[in-house]
Structure 1
Amino acid sequence: MIEVNELTKRYGSKTAVDHLSFTVRPGQVTGFLGPNGAGKTTTLRMILGLDAPTGGAATVSGVPFRSHPRGLRHVGALLDANQVHGGRSAAAHLSALARSNGIPLRRVDEVLQEVGLAEAASRRIGGFSLGMKQRLGIATALLGDPPVLMFDEPVNGMDPEGVLWVRRLFRRLAAEGRTVFLSSHLMSEMESTADQLVVIGRGRLIAAESVPDFAARSTRLSVVVGTPRAAELAAVLTAAGASVEVEGSAGTERLAVTGLPADRIGELAFENRITLHELTTRTASLEEAFMELTADSVEYLAGQPR
């Protein structure tokens, strides 16, 4: 478990993280979201003891990460796949980390096999693609078989097969009872992978809840209506105060209705003897909800400071 309590980080007059509190629990994938400059990477670095907080505290399994004598046995992390020595081979890199953390050397071959780099074990890392470096970073995180795992943008540079593999890996790790904390800008991946979300903006907490609950907070809820008398129903609903948009092509039109709930739309259709083939409430996507709920926390808009 990761616990963050009133965590604060200031750089001179700039506050990067502002009294941030949340908990990341085991047995689920928790996504970490926020606009650029929101303080996500700074928060991850403070959890790992790489940056000292100005105030507050972060603990892993109840104690600060620095209190763990052999860190990789307790927390596996990937913050920057490029922060490796390019002249070493993948096997040499992992072997050095294994020795310094008291990890059996057999784990080197095991994790290289798991991430798909067994055949590249003796190759120098400097010749790796970004996707291969990401896989090596994930192997590093898995090396000590830790209960807590943290990843910052782990699928950057990966092909579709790699992205799918990462998604399944994280879901499996969570199902094993581990704490999985994942930062990413890819909303579609987060929507497919995460169970819970921690969303921040300008260093402050915006939300800490499940993915469906966060999406449901959006005001962009609409009702999709299918009917053979689309134009007639659109007029009825508009007169009742709804906003109506026509979707689809001639003969297959559907109406996207906002401003009226599904039960009221059904009542109006019944009162006007209009047949309905579909009446479905559609929630916002994670991306739509994120864009709406973090709009006031975006530090840069169209390349200009706000």
Structure 2
Amino acid sequence: MDGVIEVNELTKRYGGTTAVNGLTFTVRSGRVTGFLGPNGAGKSTTLRLILGLNAPTSGTVTVHGRPFRDHRRGLRHVGALLDAGDVHGGRTARAHLTALAVANRIPRTRVAQVLAEVGLSGAAGRRIGGFSLGMRQRLGIAAALLGDPPVLLFDEPLNGLDPEGVQWVRGLFRGLAAEGRTVFVSSHLMSEMEHTADELVVVGRGELIAAESLPEFAARGGSHSVTVVTPEPAALAAALTAEGGTVREADGVLSVTGLKAAAIGELALRQGVPLHELTPRASLEEAFMELTADRVEYTAGGAR
């Protein structure tokens, strides 16, 4: 299954405003790629350009070597969830998906299949106007899956989902990537990207900041921590603090900054404290905040 997305010098201007400026990156199949950036970074505009919903001012974007508009019966090639609220509230979930299936020459049997996959079989006959945001998100994901496409795009798919729904989406995305599909997910939830994404494309004010693996990007942040698990957390925390480390504890697990893993291990040995885990970690959220600090369009208090 091959569905590589190629973005080359992509630019989009609206009058005097540049929403996307010279973006170049590749989204590969067989992995989940997170699409990150502050508010106003141009993420939604980029997704619309990929889908041919907006025409670029300059540059190109292709899916499997061709502009998306050149693919007949688009849902068989790319499935997308851009706005869960962009549906006719008077239709039932079944009618909405059936209309999409007919327009794209997709067997109607797929409607029941995808409704079951997203957990909406029991709501198939209900009007969408009565759905919660979480149910609309599930319906949008069902529409994206309808054509069994090799490429899937999702814009903030976790909005409105409960914890069970978030876990389900995480497993769904990783399962789709394991099947060889291209999964491109825009999200502002760093914790979910840490659990879900293999690679990242990070933008700010319409320009590319990074396109690399998640560990590579996280390691670019200046702040690193070490996770420590020990049966004697209080004793070790006191010793680490005395050595100049900063220690945070949650459920018996220590997160240590200011000391490297080797120094922590040596200190534990001297103190006679056993260790069950000693893992250096780079924070995706900290790296994101550091590397996008000068690309934020709006900040708290109105500062620009």
SS of structure 2 residue aligned to 1:150: strand
Q: In the TM superposition, what whole-angstrom CA distance separates every residue of 1:139-195 from its partner, at most 9, and x where no partner exists? A: 110111100000001111111111111111111111110000001111111111111
Indicate yes or no: 2:283 matched with 1:285.
Answer: yes
Rounded Cα–Cα distance in structure 1 between residues aligned with 2:38 and 2:13: 18
Q: Contact 2:221–2:282 (CA<8 Å) still a contact in 1? A: yes
The residue identity in structure 1 corresponding to 2:285 is E
Rounded Cα–Cα distance in structure 2 between residues aligned with 1:12 and 1:290: 30
Which residue of structure 2 aligns with residue 219 of structure 1?
A: 222
Which residue of structure 1 aligns with residue 245 of structure 2?
A: 244
Choose the corresponding residue for 2:63, options 60, 64, 68.
Answer: 60
The residue identity in structure 2 corresponding to 1:300 is Y
TM-score of the aligned structures, taking structure 2 as reference length:
0.88
Choose the corresponding residue for 1:138, options 134, 138, 141.
Answer: 141
The residue identity in structure 2 corresponding to 1:245 is T
- Correspondences of 1:142-291 after superposition (within 5 Å): 142-223=145-226, 244-247=245-248, 256-258=256-258, 261-263=260-262, 277=274, 280=278, 282-291=280-289
Cα offset, 1:284, TM superposition: 3.0
Indicate yes or no: 2:52 matched with 1:49.
Answer: yes
SS of structure 1 residue aligned to 2:61: strand
Rounded Cα–Cα distance in structure 2 between residues aligned with 1:179 and 1:120: 29
SS of structure 1 residue aligned to 2:87: coil
SS of structure 1 residue aligned to 2:282: coil
Q: In the TM superposition, what whole-angstrom CA distance separates every residue of 1:241-281 from its partner, at most 9, and x where no partner exists? A: xx5325459xx9979352x64446777999xx666655945
Structure 2 segments unaligned to the other structure (5+ residues) = none
Change (3 A) 1:2 1:229: closer
- Correspondences of 1:4-153 after superposition (within 5 Å): 4-153=7-156
Cα offset, 1:292, TM superposition: 1.6
Q: Contact 2:261–2:280 (CA<8 Å) still a contact in 1? A: no
SS of structure 1 residue aligned to 2:245: strand
Structure 1 segments unaligned to the other structure (5+ residues) = 238-242
Which residue of structure 2 aligns with residue 298 of structure 1?
A: 296
- In the alignment of these two chains, the number of paired residues is 295
Cα offset, 1:285, TM superposition: 2.2
Rounded Cα–Cα distance in structure 2 between residues aligned with 1:281 and 1:176: 31
Change (3 A) 1:91 1:219: same
Q: Contact 1:40–1:183 (CA<8 Å) still a contact in 2? A: yes
Cα offset, 1:234, TM superposition: 5.6
Which residue of structure 2 aligns with residue 240 of structure 1?
A: none
Rounded Cα–Cα distance in structure 2 between residues aligned with 1:233 and 1:128: 51
Q: Percent identity?
A: 69
Change (3 A) 1:232 1:147: closer
Change (3 A) 1:124 1:4: same
TM-score of the aligned structures, taking structure 1 as reference length:
0.87
Larger radius of gyration: 1
SS of structure 1 residue aligned to 2:75: helix
The residue identity in structure 1 corresponding to 2:246 is E
Rounded Cα–Cα distance in structure 2 between residues aligned with 1:138 and 1:198: 22
The residue identity in structure 2 corresponding to 1:70 is R
Cα offset, 1:291, TM superposition: 1.3
The residue identity in structure 2 corresponding to 1:294 is T
Change (3 A) 1:42 1:255: closer
Q: CA RMSD in A?
A: 2.6
